[in-house]
Structures are given as C-alpha cells and as structure tokens.
Amino acid sequence: MQTLLVIDDDPGLASLLVEYLGTRGFRVESVPDGMKGLARLSRGDVDLVVLDVMMPGIDGFETCRAIRRGGDHGHSVADARVPIVMLTARGDDFDRIVGLELGADDYLSKPFNPRELLARINSVLRRSQAPRAVVDPSVSAAGIRLDPASRECTVDDRRVELTTTEFDLLHALVAAAGRVIPREGLMAAARGEAWASFDRSVDVHISHIRKKLGDDPRRPTRIKTIRGVGYLVPRHTG
C-alpha cells in the first residue's frame, strides 16, 4: 500500500483528505505544518506529498525547497525526489510558477474536487512508481544520459537530481534528439495525457531543467527553444 503525506494546517481539509484518500487504497498521514512534514519525511516510506502553500512557520514553498535540497531546518529528507502535489490558495500564475520552479510535480488550486486531486495523485504515481513490463533502454544526446530503470540522469558524467516530471520531460526530448517536440506534444509524452490547464507549465519545467543541467538560458546548447513551436535537444552539443 502506498503512503501519502498531507501537509496542511487546515484540520477540516486534512481530515477530509485522510478519509477520502484512505478509502481509495492509500495509507494517508497528516501533519499540520512544514517542520512536522520534514520530520516525517526524514523517516522515509512516503510515496507522495500533498503540500499546502499557505501555512504558519515555514510555508509550502520553503517546505518544497527543503525537500528538494534533501532537508533543512534540522531534518534530513530520506528521498529528495519524492513526488509533490502542491495545493495553492489562489488561482493566479504566481503560486503555480513558484511551486513548479521549486520542484513540485503538479499543483491544484483551492477549492478543488477531491476526485481531481485523486486523479492528479494517481497520474504522478503512475509515472514515478508504476512497474513497467518492459523497461525502456537508456537514452543519450547532447551529453545527457537518462536511465529509465533507475530514473537517473547524468550530464557529462555528473549526476543530476530531477523530479518525476522533469525526468519525463527530458526523457521525451532526449529520446527524440534532433527533432522538435511541440509544447502540447511534450506534455502529452511526459504525462500520457493532455495538460492544458496551465499553458506555461512546460516552460517553467524546462527552465528548471536547464538550470540543473548547467545550460545557459541565454544561449542554451542542450535544450533549444524553437520559437513558436516547442523544444529540441540536439544530438550533440555545440
């Protein structure tokens, strides 16, 4: 049984999610703030985090940042790549962009239908943990090497930590090296479904991936922007 950790200071919502998701085949735990969330994550055995943005103490953004760094505030996170679905109180772009830039895999604006949250959780978990009958072979291009079996990424033999969504987006690009992938096709390749709820999501993720790869955003050599179309990973750098 997969374990979900809900980090939210709203006791009513947390209780609802524990009950609802608990009847959908998950083991669900809930903590009221980021510090307690980091403490729980230090013990491991968490498959996905549902993380609220607006919380007292360290907010959801800082908590997300700490998770992706492998820990902070006196706690070491067992798995810095644990998938994160953020809950934002506002529907504007700012919260969404910041969350994605910090490494969240998906987001949902409050108020929301629990069924939609369940769908997003299942989508992220399918990509990050679902067993594959046939494991895709490693792919490489432009100095980037991706191993789907271990979900590992190396750039010029340097290990790079990627979130689930970042890995899948980069894998789609590297596997199609030399060909342009439109934004909508890229998101569909990464998620197995259309992702039309936030048109700039792919751009935010690509920006974050470039930063991790050490790719100059002004003159990128590993992930090139094809204006008005999409993105391209060349077969070779230069």
Q: What b/e string do you get for 198-230 counting C-beta neighbours within 10 Å, with b at 16 or more? A: beebbebbbbbbbebbebeeeebbbbbeeeeeb
CB 163 within 8 A of CB 105: yes
Question: Domains of the chain, with CATH numbers?
Answer: 3-129 (3.40.50.2300), 139-232 (1.10.10.10)
Is this prediction's pTM over 0.75? no
Write out the two tokens for 91.
């529907």
CA dihedral (91, 196, 151, 230) positive or negative: negative
User: What is the pLDDT averaged over residues 128-157?
Assistant: 80
Question: How far, in Å, are 47, 67, 104, 117 from residue 6 at the CA level?
Answer: 11, 14, 14, 12
The per-residue pLDDT for 93 is 66
Helix locations, the chain, DSSP H: 11-22, 34-41, 60-69, 93-101, 114-129, 164-175, 183-191, 201-213
* Pairwise pLDDT comparison (90 vs 206), residue with the higher score: 206
Task: Give the count of alpha carbons within 13 A of 17, CB side only.
Answer: 29
Within 8 A by CB and 6+ apart from 63, the residues are 7, 34, 37, 38, 51, 55
The whole-number pLDDT of residue 3 equals 96
Cis status, amide bond into 111, omega within 30 of 0: yes
pLDDT at 236 over 90: no
The DSSP secondary structure of 122-183, one letter per residue, reads HHHHHHHH---SSPPPPEEETTEEEETTTTEEEETTEEE---HHHHHHHHHHHHTTTS-EEH
pLDDT digits (tens, 9 = 90+) for 186-226: 877 666 554 544 456 788 889 989 999 999 888 899 999 99
